[in-house]
Amino acid sequence: MCRVRVLVVEDERKLAQVIASALQAEHYDVVVAPTGEDGFFRASAETFDLVVLDLMLPGRGGLEILQTLRKGHVQTPVLIVTARDGIEDRVLGLDLGADDYLVKPFALPELLARIRALLRRGRPSDILRLKAADLEVDLVARRALRNGRALDLTAREFELLEYLLRHQGHVVSREMLAHDVWKEPRRATPIDNVIDVQMARLRKKVDVEGHDRLIHTVRGVGFVLREGEP
Amino acid sequence: MKWPWSAPSIRVRLTAWYAVVLTAMMIVYATATFVAVRHEFLEQLDDQLHDDFETAESLLTRTADGRIVWAGDRHQDPDSDEVRVYEVWSPAGEQIHRSGASVALPPVAVASTHASYRYETVAGNNERWRTLTAPITIGGHAVVLRVSRSEERLRNQLWEILVVLVFGSPLVVVLAGVGGYLLARRALLPIDHLASEAQRITAERLHERLTVPNQRDEIGRLTGVINDTFARLESSFDQLRRFTADASHELRTPLAVVRGIGEAAVTERRSPKEYEDAIGSMLEEVDRMTTLVETLLRLSHGDAGRIRVSREPLDLGQLARDVTSSLGILVEERNQKLMLDIADGVVVPVDRLVLREAVTNVLDNAIKYSPAGSTVAIRVGRIGDEALLAIADEGPGIPPEHRERIFHRFFRVDEARSRDGGGSGLGLAIAKWAVDIHGGAITVEQRPGGGSEFRILLPLTPAVATTHDQKTTQMRLGG
């Protein structure tokens, strides 16, 4: 199978390194461009499946690169990574042809999740059943079974379990949960406690005695649903 | 080079305006005076002329040989008169008598002389003469009598008046200008004084105030206003100073923790589990710091007015239910009870997300500080033309001296209970900001049975103030 190629345009050396190694751990081919010029040159000359683009770059700014690429009909998906979080900045970036937008500081699990989502784009995703070990979830009937026995879940617990299953094997951060499951638009909202309590309850119902533990806490990062030990 | 008059002081401008207005007034006054005096003089001249005419009419007689002579003993010889001329003309246009000053006057147009008196001004010997002409009868013969008076004296007098007016007025203006300048300087002196005094009060000496010489006059009021401004400036400087100190403390602490854990982890060889713990613990601090920075940025955007508020009608009860359902799980976890007392149809024009943040923060606060097993009550209703959302808890309450400051950034009633479980200390500050931008108010009060009640008051939409269908919904969650 052909490996996915990702171009990372980021001038901050440490951050570029962190992103690159996280992507390599997901078995992507990663090319790092440390300047805007280099990034633009590579993005227009080579073929990539995805570009991770910083906006504040020395030499050539990220938005300018994006604009020039799109004018030159380079349609590679672009994920903007920036410290600018004003609505105007987001709108401008997306209007100029970016496919997604992530504000620094971001959690790596979220970056990876968004990259997966962008790469998945255009493919059918009408999965009706999700499975992990002896846990089965029927999205149509909204039913969850552990080893054939039905679990009594609240609506929120079901959504949470579905989200964890969809990101099976990948860590999901509290930010992702707050944003995607609780639909909280802001980090400032005191929702982290709610997430922790909800997760503890879900875990009590899913990881019942006599079964392998599926939901794991990754300290300081978030949660992961995974078969076997973490 | 800067011209001195390019940006003149108020003093100079005031004086200039004064002079301009005064000049205009002087011109109008002088012109009017001159016109009135001239008119008066001419009228007097005509009256004198008329008197002369009547005297001549009664005193001129005809001799037997047809000559016209002065009758009786005239007090003055008409021929020695310098300013008057008497002429008698026959109907044929011949001059048949002449006495008085020797001056060549144009002949009388006898044919056009009608029964009435005719006044006119004619030239003679390079002077102007005022004449009165009318037909009379002397000794039964119809003749025309003309009496003339020189206008020269009158003109000289008028000229003198004109000279006085033309040269006197500018002098008056100049004198008044100097006086005006001195007056303006004197009137503005307290302002100069005020300016130099205010200049002395810099950021480091904000506690100082201007001296108020007289509280009731304009300068006194101005000084009062400036002093008020200084007071507000001082309090915001203080707040800023406190905020900066708190913010640096809140940000430095997690940094110090991260650094400490990292240093401790690398100084000795440790097991992977220990490394994992260290890294996880560092990440937790980073997360805390991220949330803090996020919140601070949000507040500062709010301060700078960069957050746009899009108002839409929102059912406050619905919002309360929404927030309680999202935080309800925390209530359950702590074995607390949640009481909702919600009046239907309390609709306010607000930005849903912003207000939701406020209510979430206040409720989170109430849950956090209430003991296990206690009750948190939420009430939504109307008070007059305002909507009320009150959140009451059975916690320790807030001492009266802290009630105002509880909404300040980073303020915590219990300093010791700073980080763990205490939150960022910004939640209520955000709530206050969110309520304030909607023109509402947030207050906290002590409940009679202990605990505190946070009250959010918001202006109602005028459209929904009429229906008072207070269907009250009672709902119990958890327990």
Do residue A219 and residue B423 have CB atoms under 8 angstroms apart?
no
Residue A190 Cα, gap to closest chain B Cα (Å): 7
Query: Burial of A109 by CB count in 10 Å (0-12 exposed, 13-18 middle, 19+ buried)?
Result: buried
- The answer to whether B273 faces chain A, any CB pair under 8 Å, is no
Give pLDDT, residue A24. 92
CATH architecture type of domain B312-478? 2-Layer Sandwich (3.30)
Do residue B286 and residue A190 have CB atoms under 8 angstroms apart?
no
* Chain B residues near residue A201 by CB distance under 8 angstroms: 329
Do residue A219 and residue B287 have CB atoms under 8 angstroms apart?
no
What residues are paired with B379 via a beta bridge? B341, B390
Give pLDDT, residue B461. 66
Give pLDDT, residue B76. 57
Do residue B290 and residue A201 have CB atoms under 8 angstroms apart?
no
Q: How far apart are CA B172 and CA B181, in angstroms?
A: 14
Stretch(es) of chain B classified as CATH 3.30.565.10: 312-478
Percent of chain A with pLDDT over 70: 94
Do residue A190 and residue B360 have CB atoms under 8 angstroms apart?
yes
CATH code reported for the domain at B218-303: 1.10.287.130
- C-alpha to C-alpha distances, B110 to B53, B55, B121, B354, nearest whole angstrom: 17, 21, 16, 105
Residue B422 Cα, gap to closest chain A Cα (Å): 11
Least CB–CB distance from B329: residue in A185, A198, A221: A198
* Chain B residues near residue A190 by CB distance under 8 angstroms: 360-361, 364, 423, 427
Least CB–CB distance from A194: residue in B280, B327, B361: B327
Do residue B283 and residue A220 have CB atoms under 8 angstroms apart?
yes
Q: How many residues make up chain B in this entry?
A: 479
Residue pairs spanning A and B at CB distance below 8 A: 62
Give the up-direction half-sphere exposure of residue B439: CA atoms within 13 A in the CB hemisphere. 11
* Chain B residues near residue A197 by CB distance under 8 angstroms: 329-330, 333
CATH architecture type of domain B10-73+80-158? 2-Layer Sandwich (3.30)
Res. A200: pLDDT tops 90: yes
Read off the pLDDT of residues A179-190 as tens digits, 9 standing for 90 and up: 889 888 766 677
Q: How far apart are CA B296 and CA B247, in angstroms?
A: 9
Least CB–CB distance from B361: residue in A174, A190, A194: A190
Read off the pLDDT of residues A125-154 as tens digits, 9 standing for 90 and up: 567 888 888 899 998 888 999 888 889 999
Angle at the Cα of B273 from the Cα atoms of B272 and B277, rounded to 5 degrees: 115
Residue A189 Cα, gap to closest chain B Cα (Å): 6
ipTM for the whole complex: 0.72
Stretch(es) of chain B classified as CATH 3.30.450: 10-73+80-158
Query: Burial of A164 by CB count in 10 Å (0-12 exposed, 13-18 middle, 19+ buried)?
Result: buried
Residue A137 Cα, gap to closest chain B Cα (Å): 24
Going by C-alpha positions, the residue among B391, B433, B388, B386 that lies closest to residue B409 is B433
Do residue A186 and residue B281 have CB atoms under 8 angstroms apart?
no
Cα dihedral value B243, B249, B251, B252, nearest 10: 150
Least CB–CB distance from B427: residue in A190, A194, A221: A190
Going by C-alpha positions, the residue among B154, B409, B181 that lies closest to residue B303 is B409
Give pLDDT, residue B363. 93
Stretch(es) of chain B classified as CATH 1.10.287.130: 218-303
Residue A118 Cα, gap to closest chain B Cα (Å): 26
Residue B347 Cα, gap to closest chain A Cα (Å): 22
Name residues of chain B where pLDDT drops below 50: 1-2, 417-418, 421-422, 462-479
Res. A171: pLDDT tops 80: yes
Residue range A106-110: mean pLDDT, rounded: 87
Residue range A153-169: mean pLDDT, rounded: 91
